[in-house]
C-alpha cells in the first residue's frame, strides 16, 4: 500500500486498536422483516426488506487506500486500518464479531420507466456500527459478490469504477456536499470481465471492493418496491423504521409524521441539488434506486464534473440519446423522482394534496437555495431580486459564449479588481485579465464576446460596490464556496491507469489534495488545471458508461 502523507500515528484515547472492538447494533436485522430463504440464488423476494447473504471470498486482497476521516468516524486507529485483518475484513473474506451481512431489496424507475425489483446486486451490508459519540454508521461492501438481487450480473466491481467511487465520495464530502462516504479501497486479486462501452470488446480488468459508510443506504426504491407489489404492511414497517432510526426528531410515526418526513426528504434533496450545481457535479444515473432518502449523493457510476460550462452535458454514454440526466436537468429529475416516492407512500397517507404541496415546496426551496448559492458564488451576500435575477441570468450566458472552465472561472472571478481606475475599468481586456486562464481557446473570444464579458463584469463590480463589499471580503467569501480543486474527469482516469499498474500513488495524492478543495495548496496547482486536449475525447475522461 502507498503510505499517505505523514500523519500522527499515535493512538489518541478513544480509538480502537483492533477491529474486534467495533460495536455492532444491527437494527435492520433486528427490526425489519427478512427473506426466509437462506440460499443465494437470483430470485424475486417478496414480503421482506432484505436477504441474508455472505460476501464471496477473494484470493488475494490488497489494500490500495483507506481514509483517515472515515476511520475516525468509526473510532478506528490508523494502525488497525493498516492491519492484515482490516484488508481481509473489508475485502469480504472475514467477518468480525457482530457483523450480520445482508442485501437490501429495492426497486426503481430507471431512465423514467418502472424496472421492478433491483436490490443490492453487488452491495453487501455488514452491519451498523455505533461509535463512541452514539452515531450509527452502516458499513457496506460494494463489489463483494452475487446476492439474490444480482439478476444476470456477477456481483463484482472493477478497480476503475471503484477508484472513482472511493475518490469522489471523499471529494464530495470535503466540498461540503452531502454524500455517502468511503472507508477503504481493496483489490481482490481476481480479474473481472467488462465490455466497457457495450460494443463487443470485453476485457479482463482487476476486481475491487469499496467499503461505503453512511447513516443508512435507504433509497427511494426501497419504498417503491413494496407499493408496487401492494405490500402495504411492509411499506409501513420500513417507513416507521426509517423515521425511528434516521429521522427520530420527527416523533412517533403517524400519517401526519409521514408527511413531515416526505417534506424533509424534499428539502434535503433540494439542498443536495443546489450543492451539485454549485460544484458542477453531474451524477449521470439519477434513477430512483440511486436516490437516498437522507439526501446523500449515492452510487457513483458514470458521474462527471463540468469542465466547460455546458448545462446540456452528460458524462453517461448510455444516456447520450435523451440526455435525461444532463447537468441542467438534475433538479427537475430530482422532483420527478420525489413524485415517485410520493406515489409510493401515498397508501400510508391517503391524501394527495399535502404530498403535492410538498412537491411544489421542493421547487420553491430549490429556487431559493439556488439563488442564495449563486449570490454566494459571486461573493455578494444576500440575493437581491432587484438586481441579481438579471445579473445571474447574464452570467450564465457569458459562461456559454465560448468554452469556459466553470471551476477556474469562479475561482478567478474573485481576483477581478474593483479598484481599477476608470480608464482601466472601461478596458474590457484589462478588466477580464484574471479570467483568461478559464478559456479553453482564448483565440475564440472575438471582440464582441470580450465586450459582453466586460459589460457583465462592470455590472457585477458595481453591484458589489453598491453594497459596500470590499474586494478582500468578496474574495474570502467566494473562495469558501468556489473550489479550486475538484475531481476532474481526467484526474480520476490518471489515478485509475496508475492503480491498474499496481501504483496507488496518484489515488493517494488526489485523495490528499481533495481534502482541502478550497485552499490554494502551493505545489499542487497541476491538479487545478483545465482538462488537457488529450483528454477531450478519451474514454474515461469525457465518456463513461454504466459498465462498472
Ligand atoms: P446502478 O444503476 O449501477 O446503480 O445499478 C442498478 C442495479 O443493477 C442495482 O440493483 C445494482 O445492484 C445492479 N448491479 C449493477 N452492477 C451489478 C453487478 N456487476 N452485479 C450485480 N448487480 C449489479
Ligand atoms: Mg445503484
Q: Is 121 in the pocket of ligand 1 (CB under 6 A)?
A: yes
Q: Is the pLDDT of residue 11 over 60?
A: no
Q: How far is the CA of 221 from the centre of ligand 1 (A)?
A: 13
Confidence of residue 116 (pLDDT cuts 50, 70, 90): very high
Cell of 59: 484470493
- Spatial separation of the C-alpha atoms in residues 239 and 258, rounded to whole Å: 8
pLDDT at 543 over 90: no
What average pLDDT does range 310-322 have in this prediction? 92
Q: What is the mean pLDDT of residues 297-312?
A: 97
**Mean pLDDT confidence for 322-332:** 97
* CB-facing half-sphere around the CA of 341: CA atoms within 13 A: 32
State yes or no: pLDDT of 361 exceeds 80. yes
**Best mutation site among 104, 148, 150 for ligand 1 pocket (most ligand atoms within 8 Å of CB):** 150
Q: What is the three-state SS of 149-165?
A: CCCCCCCECEHHHHHHH
**With pLDDT > 90 as the criterion, what percentage of the chain qualifies?**
91
Q: What angle do CA 286, 90, 175 make, to 5 degrees?
A: 45
Examine the pLDDT at 9 and tell me if it is beyond 50: no
Give the H/E segment covering residue 139. strand 136-142
268 compared with 8, residue with greater pLDDT? 268
153 lines ligand 1 (CB under 6 A): yes
Q: Are strands 304-305 and 107-110 parallel, antiparallel or unpaired?
A: unpaired
Cβ of 154 less than 6 Å from ligand 1? yes
Give the mean pLDDT of 81-97: 97
Mean pLDDT (whole number) for 80-88: 97
State the distance from the centre of ligand 2 to the C-alpha of 36, rounded, in angstroms: 24
Helix (H, G, I), strand (E, B) or coil at 133: coil
Q: What is the separation of C-alpha 511 from the centre of its chain, rounded to a whole number of angstroms?
A: 15
pLDDT of 199: 87
Ligand nearest to the CA of residue 157, numbered in listed order: 1
Cβ-in-10-Å burial (0-12, 13-18, 19+) of 261 comes to: buried
Stretch 78-106: mean pLDDT, rounded?
A: 97
DSSP state of 295: -
Residues, the chain, total? 548
227-263 pLDDT, tens digit per residue, is: 999 999 999 999 999 999 999 999 999 999 999 999 9
**Which of the listed residues 40, 103, 109, 122 should we mutate to test ligand 1's pocket, taking the one with most ligand atoms within 8 A of CB?**
122
Question: Which one, of 246, 311, 318, lies nearest residue 276 by Cα?
Answer: 311
Residue nearest to atom 11 of ligand 1 (CA): 121
pLDDT for residue 8: 38
Q: Residue 165: CB within 6 Å of ligand 1?
A: no
Ligand nearest to the CA of 122: 1
Which of helix, strand or coil describes residue 496?
Answer: helix
pLDDT of residue 12: 52
In degrees, to the nearest 5, what angle opens at C-alpha 127 toward C-alphas 124 and 129?
140
302 lines ligand 1 (CB under 6 A): no
Ligand nearest to the CA of 302: 1
Residue 300: which of 436, 441, 185, 465 has the closest Cα?
Answer: 185
Ligand 1 atom nearest 290 alpha carbon: 4
Catalytic residues: 289
Say whether pLDDT at 7 is over 60: no
> CB of 122 closer than 6 A to ligand 1?
yes
Percent of the chain with pLDDT over 70: 97
Mutate to test the pocket of ligand 1, among 121, 142, 161 (most ligand atoms within 8 A of CB): 121
Rounded to the nearest angstrom, the distance between the alpha carbon of 32 and the centre of ligand 1 is 23
The three cell numbers of residue 365 are: 426551496
* Average model confidence (pLDDT) across the chain: 95
Alpha carbon distance 66, 450 (integer Å): 47
Ligand nearest to the CA of 107: 1
Sequence-ordered list of residues with C-beta below 8 angstroms from that of 533, at least 6 positions apart, any chain: none
Do 266 and 296 form a contact (C-beta atoms < 8 A)?
no
Question: What order of strands is seen across the sheet that includes strand 50-52?
Answer: 50-52, 102-104, 123-130, 136-142, 203-214, 181-194, 62-66
Average pLDDT over residues 42-68: 98
Residue with the smallest CA separation from ligand 1 atom 13 is 121
User: How many other CB atoms sit within 10 Å of the CB of residue 239?
Assistant: 24
What is the reported pLDDT for 21?
85
- C-alpha angle with apex 299: 298 to 304, nearest 5 degrees? 95
In this structure, are residues 176 and 223 in contact, taking their beta carbons and an 8 Å threshold?
no
C-alpha cell of 354?
A: 399535502
The phi-psi region of residue 22 (left if phi > 0; otherwise alpha if psi is between -120 and 50; otherwise beta) is beta
- pLDDT band, very low/low/confident/very high, at 152 (cuts 50, 70, 90): very high
Q: Is 194 touching ligand 1 by the criterion CB < 6 Å? A: no
Pocket test for ligand 1, best of 41, 153, 284, 548 (most atoms within 8 A of CB): 153
Query: Each residue of 470-490: pLDDT tens digit?
Result: 999 999 999 999 999 999 999
Q: What angle do CA 355, 360, 363 make, to 5 degrees?
A: 135
Q: How far is the CA of 174 from the centre of ligand 1 (A)?
A: 27
Report residue 10's pLDDT band, with 50, 70 and 90 as the boundaries. very low
Q: Region 415-423: what's the mean pLDDT?
A: 93
Q: In this structure, are residues 331 and 277 in contact, taking their beta carbons and an 8 Å threshold?
A: yes
How many angstroms does the Cα of residue 46 sit away from the middle of ligand 1?
19
CA of 115 to the centre of ligand 1 (A): 12
Digit-coded pLDDT (tens) for 341-359: 999 999 999 999 999 999 9
Residue nearest to atom 7 of ligand 1 (CA): 118
pLDDT in tens, 182-232: 999 999 999 999 998 888 989 999 999 999 999 999 999 999 999 999 999
pTM assigned to the model: 0.96
Give the distance (Å) from ligand 2 centre to CA of residue 169.
14
Residue range 153-172, pLDDT digits in tens: 999 999 999 999 999 999 99
Amino acid at each position: 500500500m502507498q503510505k499517505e502523507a505523514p500523519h500522527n500515528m499515535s493512538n489518541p484515547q478513544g480509538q480502537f486498536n483492533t477491529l474486534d472492538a467495533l460495536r455492532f447494533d444491527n437494527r435492520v436485522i433486528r427490526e425489519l422483516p427478512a427473506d426466509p430463504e437462506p440460499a443465494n440464488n437470483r430470485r424475486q423476494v417478496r414480503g421482506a426488506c432484505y436477504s441474508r447473504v455472505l460476501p464471496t471470498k477473494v484470493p488475494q486482497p490488497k489494500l490500495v487506500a483507506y481514509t483517515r476521516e472515515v476511520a475516525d468516524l468509526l473510532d478506528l486507529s490508523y494502525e488497525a486500518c493498516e492491519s492484515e485483518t482490516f484488508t481481509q475484513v473489508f475485502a469480504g473474506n472475514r467477518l468480525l464479531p457482530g457483523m450480520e451481512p445482508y442485501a437490501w431489496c429495492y426497486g426503481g424507475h430507471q431512465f423514467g420507466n418502472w424496472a421492478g425489483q433491483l436490490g443490492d446486486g453487488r452491495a453487501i451490508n455488514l452491519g451498523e456500527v455505533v461509535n463512541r459519540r452514539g452515531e450509527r454508521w452502516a458499513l457496506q461492501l460494494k463489489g463483494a459478490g452475487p446476492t439474490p438481487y444480482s439478476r444476470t450480473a456477477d456481483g463484482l466491481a472493477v478497480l476503475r469504477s471503484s477508484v472513482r467511487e472511493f475518490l469522489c465520495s471523499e471529494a464530495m464530502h470535503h466540498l461540503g456536499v452531502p454524500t455517502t462516504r468511503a472507508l477503504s479501497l481493496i483489490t481482490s486479486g481476481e480479474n473481472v470481465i467488462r465490455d466497457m462501452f457495450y460494443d463487443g470488446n470485453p476485457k479482463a480488468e482487476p476486481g475491487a471492493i469499496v467499503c461505503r459508510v453512511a447513516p443508512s443506504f435507504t433509497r427511494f426504491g426501497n419504498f417503491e418496491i413494496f407499493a408496487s407489489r401492494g405490500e402495504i404492511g411492509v411499506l409501513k414497517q420500513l417507513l416507521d423504521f426509517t423515521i425511528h432510526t434516521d429521522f427520530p426528531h420527527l416523533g412517533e410515526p403517524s400519517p401526519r409524521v409521514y408527511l413531515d418526513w416526505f417534506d424533509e426528504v424534499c428539502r434535503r434533496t433540494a439542498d443536495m441539488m443546489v450543492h451539485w450545481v454549485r460544484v458542477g457535479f453531474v451524477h449521470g444515473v439519477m434513477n430512483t434506486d440511486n436516490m437516498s432518502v437522507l439526501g446523500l449523493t449515492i452510487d457513483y457510476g458514470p458521474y462527471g464534473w463540468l469542465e466547460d460550462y455546458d448545462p446540456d452535458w452528460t458524462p453517461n454514454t448510455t444516456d447520450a440519446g435523451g440526455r435525461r440526466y444532463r447537468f441542467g436537468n438534475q433538479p427537475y429529475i430530482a422532483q420527478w423522482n420525489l413524485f415517485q416516492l410520493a406515489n409510493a407512500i401515498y397508501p400510508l397517507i391517503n391524501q394527495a394534496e399535502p404530498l403535492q404541496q410538498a412537491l411544489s415546496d421542493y421547487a420553491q426551496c430549490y429556487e431559493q437555495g439556488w439563488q442564495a448559492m449563486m449570490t454566494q458564488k459571486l461573493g455578494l451576500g444576500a440575493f437581491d431580486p432587484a438586481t441579481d435575477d438579471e445579473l445571474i441570468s447574464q452570467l450564465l450566458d457569458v459562461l456559454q459564449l465560448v468554452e469556459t472552465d466553470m471551476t477556474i472561472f469562479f475561482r478567478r472571478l474573485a481576483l477581478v479588481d474593483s479598484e481599477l481606475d476608470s480608464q482601466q475599468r472601461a478596458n474590457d481586456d484589462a478588466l477580464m485579465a484574471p479570467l483568461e486562464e478559464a478559456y479553453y481557446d482564448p483565440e475564440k473570444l472575438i471582440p464582441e464576446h470580450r465586450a459582453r464579458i466586460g459589460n457583465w463584469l462592470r455590472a457585477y463590480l458595481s453591484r458589489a460596490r453598491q453594497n459596500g463589499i470590499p474586494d478582500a471580503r468578496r474574495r474570502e467569501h467566494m473562495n469558501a464556496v468556489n473550489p479550486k480543486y475538484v475531481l476532474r474527469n481526467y484526474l480520476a482516469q490518471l489515478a485509475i491507469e496508475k492503480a491498474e499498474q499496481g501504483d496507488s500513488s496518484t489515488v493517494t495524492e488526489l485523495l490528499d489534495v481533495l481534502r482541502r478543495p478550497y485552499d490554494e495548496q502551493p505545489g499542487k496547482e497541476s491538479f487545478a488545471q483545465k482538462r488537457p486536449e488529450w483528454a477531450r475525447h478519451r474514454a474515461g475522461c469525457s465518456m463513461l458508461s454504466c459498465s462498472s
